[in-house]
Amino acid sequence: MNKRDFLCNGAGLLLAATIGPVLAATSNRITREEYQVYLDKFNSNDMSFIDFYHPEVVLELGAEEIVGNTGIRDFYANVKKYIKETVTVNQFISDEGGVAVEIPTRFECIADWDQSFWGVPLKKGQVMRIISFGFYQVRDHKFSHIKAARYKVVHDWQMGDPQAA
């Protein structure tokens, strides 16, 4: 290798070594580990899970649309008075534009809820299991638009959880 090639290749390596960490630090991609931190907070009713939401986030839950991270916080603050929701991940795919997940979810009614989100009265002890798909658009490393679609009802609301036995 001549001196010119060495200097050109060396400068490229130096530039790559310098800019690589900067690009990683500014990546918009949500990692599997970051998503798990979000789920852990959500599942434990730690309302700081909304820190993962862009202030202008839109959440589409079927026909329901909730706008803004405070709107989502207020919605879940009410739901979580009655429901213990546990979300796990079967499949996780992420790129710079967003996240796609297959998420089995267990809902347990922890207090009677006459005017439930599901449109039916619920009694403490009832459990429902579903599998959903979630699509999260990401902006500024935060969820900016979320679409949740129910794929399959494993079992509808019933007293107790047959899968727990």
Q: Please write the tens of the pLDDT for every residue from 104-156.
A: 999 999 999 999 988 899 999 999 999 999 999 999 999 999 999 999 999 88
Whether the per-residue pLDDT at 3 is higher than 80: the answer is: no
Q: How far apart are CA 45 and CA 41, in angstroms?
A: 6
Least confident of 20-29, 48-57, 91-100, 137-146: 20-29
Backbone angles phi, psi at 96, to 5 degrees: -60, -25
Q: How far apart are CA 109 and CA 82, in angstroms?
A: 6
As given in the structure block, the two tokens for residue 79 are: 């739901």
**Phi, then psi, of 46 in degrees rounded to 5:** -85, 105
Stretch 51-60: mean pLDDT, rounded?
96
- Cα(141)–Cα(27) distance, rounded to whole angstroms? 7
Rg (CA), the chain: 21
